[in-house]
Structure 1
């Protein structure tokens, strides 16, 4: 078969030439070189994890890492940002981030009918050429306003934070307050280049809204951009106010734009006239609890903190406007169990040197005799109607703890420093009145502890609380959880201001010794001690009864216990008589000691001989 070729011959005939094989090999070699180069340029996983909180979605060519220094020469952390080459000719073109608008602003309008200009805004702008600063507005929205010739629109550019930037980066659970190994710092939230913009008659912004997740960094960023524009570029009236308008399906953050500054609401439009000096002071504080609003103190514990560091440059204006009134306050309701604690608190406040009013809110559960003792201790007493927590079970300990909302009705005062009745004050706390609402010490995660906090009374804020109490979920079922949902942006005080009497279950001997040293230091090294667990007046004075209950070991400290009794000993005997044990509580203490003895608890406190004279002078339950 000469004419045709069999199958094997055809295979041989199809074998490529040597040149073709070389070309194929070169192609494969080039491919592997490209892959290798890509892997070589890829950031290592360790770098990724180290900077995960501050990365942005951008390529290597488009990213650069910013490290800035503040005016005091302190290094400030920065997030990676998209590098933008701003062109002066494009200054009024907004810098849109489509993925961010879709991902976080899940309630932005798909139809521009929803953004129909409200009547109050048309009246405000009039026919004159007003300059309108527009923040986080879609290009179509800007065009619509230009078409209707309502004024000169100025789109404000800023780089949006990304999903890698988490709330916990701004509000970490723990920071090195003592600055033993590191100086706490905050990541940078990108802001516009304010020098590029002139004065604005009105600042208009569209806010993202997610009622299920209030801790949204982008939402906070938009608020901060607007607040900074109001302070730096907003035209002010004779009353030091400027005009800010939001479009939002949920209320703008009361932490920056106070309830009392809301002039009008129409649908999803909110018109505020913020008081600039107060807003300016808020912006001068750290952007989150990642830094202390009040540094621990100066070079030593006896140094007095320089309050000019936290006072607004417009403080003189605030003083001229009205004579400020300030007070400490606490709340007693539902039982008389904390009467002794409130008496001791008042005495400790007066011993600290304060001359501020002491306001006590009580309900009808406090007898006339106890009221007289509380007044003698220094409290000015106001009787309130309790507020029920709608999410609490009937008869539960937290059934009426929303009564604390009544503090916001003390509108005769500009500032209130609330102090829980299970606290004693060891150092003067008057400097806290220089801080805005909400200023407090940290608790867990991104939350503050409401045991000591600065608040600003407002009937409007009280009304918002009452309207929200059925919908807002408290993480702990109490007022602290509710307030943490209403004020997610707060200012961090050192833990020594509200020093919690508790220990981690895995605390080392050195950690326990350090904390006990702070509890007992004289002169005091902490401002106040917050007694968690069983309260000192409900124990024998001989030792901390938390030692007798295994579940309460984390709250046990004889040093802190004896510190409370030292304040008690300085009180008048008549006031001391209101700290007696009840027959029921004595029975409970003896039972707990008996169980501790039976279990043979190694701390051995059950062996201590009781000498507390109150044991023989009991009161009826």
Structure 2
């Protein structure tokens, strides 16, 4: 009976109102969470847009006066006590000195009590980048380098407030290492710690009289050679790497964009004819270094590119450069052609080929690691490598003001190895040789290999190494590119002839038109531009661009096959007048 009376009892109005208010408040809180907290996928998609560009001066992007924290991780403020790693100090630390001011980066989980006997420990906190911040945000496939819309920009990698610290005698940093995990060398957090250490050395380093700074790095992986050069490594013990870094070189690197998301060198202001002002960038060259710089190309295993190398030398000389022209070649190049290459302007140096251990025997890329010999040219401070299927149209000497690895973009996050700024170094050469069996090249060649070693590179404008291709197969692309190929005075600094090479075609038209899978490389305008350079050469040099009987047969087969397929452009119907056909 009591139970029935309780059920029949009518609840008070105040109680009903309280219950309704509780439910209303609960649903409002739930709705606010769902509305205001975007998903992880949204963060990932827009991570790069939430920060603004800069490396030397880093600030989070402000939006309506509110800091955007979504891709930044605040320093760990947890009071949870962690077990610190007690690690043996490297023995060479005792010879470095005492009474120092030691800046420590990312050493929060290390027991550093014993380091105090060497001086004052200064911890350098910084905001860690989120795992949602990916390498492709810093190294995009394409940027608006012509500034047709808003111009290119880079997302920010957060840096400490360097001005808040005094000068330091030594910097110690623990570098992240996810090896052998796939993509470990393209870890943004790993790059961030490298750059914090490099910037701290430049901005707050107490350099010695040789302008060098003591930097001690803790890492299972080799530190990034793009930032801390192996020539500067003076000691290694276990996972400890001791560098005496040259501040001038380090200062130049940290002054450049944080990735290929922006140009290291915009070659023009508002017009292509405006001369680039070198004073806008950090340049560390002296009259001495000008004598120790060279343009270099490589020939090995075949004489197929001899004509291209002759034409390349002539095109460089036409730009009035005073740098040395150096050709690395092996014994496959015959004496008459060596003489011709020398007359064309090259200084010859003989090399022993380097085999790609992952290449098949007698394949096109069997000896393409011979390009590693470039790093053995230590009588030069800096070289610019240029492939022999390139012609240079404007002076490229300005590139000597930029560090290794400076190049133009290719696909994805990689650079094109057709034109590269290189700093010769025997230890870099030894490192490349040591990693031959370890690294898998995406294309089986030197370009894929080098992109796994030099992952942090500096983007040159595409006009420095303009690729002759038409990937979109659109009339607009063809119009724009052909206008650039034919412009006079030239708007391009060089043209890189992909596909079948001009000297292996009849001069009447680009023979890439005749081969179905090579038509993306076909341009009669670019083809004619190469022949203009050729025609300016001495007659005795032109003779080394003759067609072999085999080449003539292949060209005729291509024309007949194009006719059978009924290719609508009808290049196969063009009457061939090239005198080389009849020699």
TM range (shorter): over 0.9
TM-superposed CA distance for 1:183, in Å, is 1.4
Tell me the equivalent position of 1:14. Answer: 7
- State whether structure 2 residue 89 is matched by structure 1 residue 122: no
Structure with max Cα Rg: 1
- State whether structure 2 residue 138 is matched by structure 1 residue 170: yes
Aligned partners of 1:82 and 1:159 also within 8 Å: no
- State whether structure 2 residue 135 is matched by structure 1 residue 135: no
Tell me the equivalent position of 2:189. Answer: 218
Deviation digits for residues 138-170 of structure 1 (CA, Å, limit 9, x no counterpart): 254234534xx2321111011011112111111
- State whether structure 2 residue 547 is matched by structure 1 residue 581: yes
Report the Cα distance in structure 1 between the residues aligned to 2:40 and 2:202, rounded to whole angstroms: 42
Deviation digits for residues 408-444 of structure 1 (CA, Å, limit 9, x no counterpart): 0011101100000000000000100111101000001
Aligned partners of 1:53 and 1:164 also within 8 Å: no
Tell me the equivalent position of 2:198. Answer: 227
Aligned partners of 2:295 and 2:383 also within 8 Å: yes
TM-superposed CA distance for 1:486, in Å, is 0.7
TM-aligned CA distance change 1:178 to 1:201, over 3 Å? same
Tell me the equivalent position of 2:33. Answer: 38
Deviation digits for residues 331-366 of structure 1 (CA, Å, limit 9, x no counterpart): 000100000000000000001111110000001110
Tell me the equivalent position of 2:420. Answer: 453
Aligned partners of 2:302 and 2:332 also within 8 Å: yes
Aligned equivalent of 2:265, options 294, 305, 318: 294
- State whether structure 2 residue 132 is matched by structure 1 residue 200: no
TM-superposed CA distance for 1:37, in Å, is 3.6
- State whether structure 2 residue 53 is matched by structure 1 residue 53: no
Tell me the equivalent position of 2:295. Answer: 328
Tell me the equivalent position of 1:90. Answer: none
Structure 1's unaligned 5+ residue stretches are 56-65, 85-93, 99-108
Provide TM-score, normalisation by structure 1.
Answer: 0.87
Q: Secondary structure at the match of 1:169?
A: helix
Report the Cα distance in structure 1 between the residues aligned to 2:570 and 2:173, rounded to whole angstroms: 64
Q: How does 1:505-524 map to 2 (within 5 A)?
A: 506-524=472-490
Provide TM-score, normalisation by structure 2.
Answer: 0.92
Tell me the equivalent position of 1:390. Answer: 357
Deviation digits for residues 460-486 of structure 1 (CA, Å, limit 9, x no counterpart): 100000011110111111101111111
Report the Cα distance in structure 2 between the residues aligned to 1:83 and 1:486, rounded to whole angstroms: 27
Structure 2's unaligned 5+ residue stretches are none
Tell me the equivalent position of 2:567. Answer: 601
Report the Cα distance in structure 1 between the residues aligned to 2:270 and 2:396, rounded to whole angstroms: 19
TM-aligned CA distance change 1:41 to 1:75, over 3 Å? closer
Q: How does 1:183-332 map to 2 (within 5 A)?
A: 183-211=151-179, 212-213=182-183, 214-312=185-283, 315=284, 319=286, 324-332=291-299
Aligned partners of 1:178 and 1:296 also within 8 Å: no
Q: How does 1:399-410 map to 2 (within 5 A)?
A: 399-410=366-377
TM-superposed CA distance for 1:129, in Å, is 1.8
Tell me the equivalent position of 1:179. Answer: 147
TM-aligned CA distance change 1:249 to 1:26, over 3 Å? same
Tell me the equivalent position of 2:517. Answer: 551
Report the Cα distance in structure 2 between the residues aligned to 1:440 and 1:218, rounded to whole angstroms: 24
